[in-house]
Chains A and B, each alone.
Chain A
């Protein structure tokens, strides 16, 4: 696939890194030659220096025969213009733009083909914010991801000593909760995947991924973790774009405090927010954290734009006694250092955003992709097309499919006359045409075989 990425910032470079390993032709455009140079040193891709909203620059980047345009520069306006140019001048079939201003987003009609011709707009800050909101809603999970318009959820939980999960075989779950249908999609032990079978025994500190209908998630979590106290008090470190959005989203449901370093920024925050208590100060100031009772917090979220600050702040909050700390960490190496340590959840903004973009890159009719475990694993939602002859999956039971080890079919969402029915996949579940199939792969290398599995046989067409 030929992909043009506009903007070599945080999002752009992570996407490039993720896609370059999948045998795509990638060109990155940015105004900053130094950034491009750094990227080129690491990755096998082409770079073009220049303004991404200029036709000549796009032409140079190979827009003529590109399949996909990812406009993810810092500027909404550049992204919108680039999409329009890509549509009018270069006929790039799929155009994705990062649009952050809520003002633009509140007028979705401007993205139509007659206007800015944006197929999909993404707002990384909003995606991150939604992600954290979900984590607060399910405090015992490490991750909550939704599929099929929220019908199916995938949750990651850490098994802990004394919990109901540890020391038991997976099939015990079925006996334990006969009324709730669910499926263990994968288990990661010491960072390596284990293909779960009925007889697999869960150990302490295992990361367990479970798929279930969204309405059952709360029951499932309650059984697994004996439910932590629900979250009531939340402290947010950093009142930037993400912190502000988060505070706005949750201030009516939780008791929220937010710390912002700059006085003017804090004043603006306080004006915009309603019930949130806005504090001025340094998020790594132990004194401040202590006087503001960081220790009494159910969740502390370090959301500044600086990795080190977030780590330090989260560690301090944890030491003060915060029940759960979440830190925003961009650098993959830091994430690997910390995840199992004192920071309960390390969130990599780029990894969360990238899933949305990956859905456009995948072959086959892919609805959603969630990148998991720092991009190592993936959960995909695909639509099965064709019939018995042209498709490798339709009309077959799950046990009849030749699935590689580590690939799990988790759930199927079938629409019946407008209603959506969630089927948790078992060995005898039959796949039909039009089904949304949620697939979990423990290793990204297997994505190609998933794509192949769901591709409609060309000879048939």
Chain B
């Protein structure tokens, strides 16, 4: 078990970094005088002491990580991170451990499902803390999906290997990841800054702008208001949100390249982008027409406004709402949930199957049709100009099956515990794809507080599974993973 020790110092360092991240809410707390300073100071100290102890005790066994250690580390980072992040909500609002852990996991996985009521009256530092957790989680996710998962090749992720700049080395998590991560974070940071400035210019207070820029770029969706973005009722703010949600949902590897080459032309090589844009645009128009035909809104302008914002918010897995879209005629919210399962581009903080896998799955089906009609045909599966190796296709199929199996089994577990079908199904879809709000009892107008402890844990686990692309977590449960 010596190899397990190798990841402990890394976990220690991450805990210490988490403790440093308490500085922002502490500053906010001091500025606004909301009385949470002591709580955050305690939490910060706790994080630091635990992290430091872990690091000191195990630092001698630190070495270059192998793939197996990497996989375990990724999962432990999210489980442990959510654990450490439990302290402020537990101390500040008095949530039970289950609820606090759910809230932390929802934040760190950039899901955006909440079981808190009265966000408007919550201490500003706590609101910032939640938003910042999402922002950090999104940061981790982007490095994970752009730099680390392709190397491990989870669920066909190796397809995006070519998208990562620089030479590839398959066997180790090399220092190059650090380089890539730095570049990605600069872009992430710059986007957040631009988003903050835009929100502020569109009329948000600086605190709201900070919170919402954090949760927009990470596609998280936490808001400092129970009414989410409907609170502002401002077309300007909604437009800013739409632009940045879409930008943040595009593959960050493409942003990275565009930044490296100082040219927007590189986006042409992003094979997901056109599909992402077309599906999004078509859905907005389709939903608008559907709502208009059903007479949901009195005039065309507001129909388009609500259709565009809520569709893009759910499709990009952000989860803001400007209206209770769960009350729309049932086709519309279901379509939104469906979009949320696959629209996000592969290198973003969005969740779900991802556009690239959906494209591969679709083409694999089409390929089988061709094979049936022309038995001697050679039909490579192509994305852009590149042939996707069969190995990748199998990985994607395995991923899809795992995704589907999780969806079904978790939904069944929730219904077993007594939830109604729509709530259970939509809660799992929202958790598994890191969307945020579901429908019915857990819809945008309500929250996850209706769930009992068992149900909350089911959703928590589902969020983690979905965030870490299922196989990364599930593989840990296999005997093969632990075999020497």
List residues of A whose CB falls within 8 A of some B CB: 260, 263, 266-267, 269-271, 277-281, 288, 291-292
Contacts and interface: CB of A to CB of B under 8 A. Distances in A.
A292 B376 contact: yes
B178 interface: no
A278 B378 contact: yes
Contacts of B370: 277
Interface of B: 370, 374-380, 382, 387
B379 to A, nearest CB: 7
A288 B379 contact: no
Contacts of A280: 376-378
A277 B380 contact: no
11 contacts: A263-B378, A267-B380, A270-B380, A270-B387, A277-B374, A278-B377, A278-B379, A279-B374, A291-B374, A291-B376, A292-B374
B389 to A, nearest CB: 11
A270 B379 contact: yes
A263 B377 CA distance: 10
B378 A267 contact: yes
A401 to B, nearest CB: 56
A263 B370 CA distance: 17
Contacts of A269: 378
Given A271-B387, A277-B370, A288 B382 contact: no
A410 to B, nearest CB: 45
Contacts of B382: 271
A267 B379 CA distance: 8
B104 to A, nearest CB: 47
B376 A288 contact: yes
Q: Which 6 A-B pairs have the closest CB atoms?
A: A266-B378, A278-B378, A270-B378, A271-B387, A279-B376, A270-B380
Nearest to A287: B376
Given A271-B382, A271-B387, A277 B375 contact: no
Contacts of A291: 374-376
A282 to B, nearest CB: 10
A292 B379 CA distance: 15
Contacts of A263: 378
A32 B474 CA distance: 64
B374 A271 contact: no
Contacts of A288: 376
Which one of B376, B379, B380, B387 has the greatest number of beta carbons of chain A within 10 Å? B376
A294 to B, nearest CB: 13
Contacts of B387: 270-271
A236 to B, nearest CB: 14
A263 B379 CA distance: 12
A260 B376 CA distance: 10
A451 to B, nearest CB: 50
A291 B374 CA distance: 8
* Most-contacted residue by chain A among B370, B375, B377, B379 (CB, 10 A): B377
A255 to B, nearest CB: 13
B212 to A, nearest CB: 44
Contacts of B378: 260, 263, 266-267, 269-270, 278-280
Contact of B380 (A260, A271, A279, A281): A271
B109 to A, nearest CB: 38
Given A271-B382, A280-B377, 4 more contacts: A267-B378, A267-B380, A278-B378, A279-B374
A292 B378 CA distance: 13
B477 to A, nearest CB: 37
B121 to A, nearest CB: 59
Contacts of B377: 277-280
A288 B378 CA distance: 14
Contacts of A266: 378
A227 to B, nearest CB: 31
Nearest to A282: B376
Contacts of A260: 378
A267 B377 CA distance: 10
A267 B378 CA distance: 6
Contacts of A278: 377-379
A328 B3 CA distance: 65
A442 to B, nearest CB: 46
Contacts of A270: 378-380, 387
B455 to A, nearest CB: 49
A266 B374 CA distance: 14
A338 to B, nearest CB: 28
A281 B376 contact: yes
Contacts of B376: 279-281, 288, 291-292
A261 B442 CA distance: 59
Contacts of B380: 267, 270-271
A271 B381 CA distance: 9
Contacts of A281: 376
Residue among B370, B377, B378, B379 with most chain A CB within 10 A: B378
A288 B377 CA distance: 11
Contacts of B375: 291
B52 to A, nearest CB: 54
Nearest to A285: B376
B261 to A, nearest CB: 22
A271 B379 CA distance: 8
A55 to B, nearest CB: 42
B457 to A, nearest CB: 48
A354 to B, nearest CB: 35
Nearest to B382: A271
Contacts of B374: 277, 279, 291-292
A448 B370 CA distance: 58
A288 B374 CA distance: 10
A233 to B, nearest CB: 14
B380 to A, nearest CB: 5
A292 B373 CA distance: 9
B162 to A, nearest CB: 14
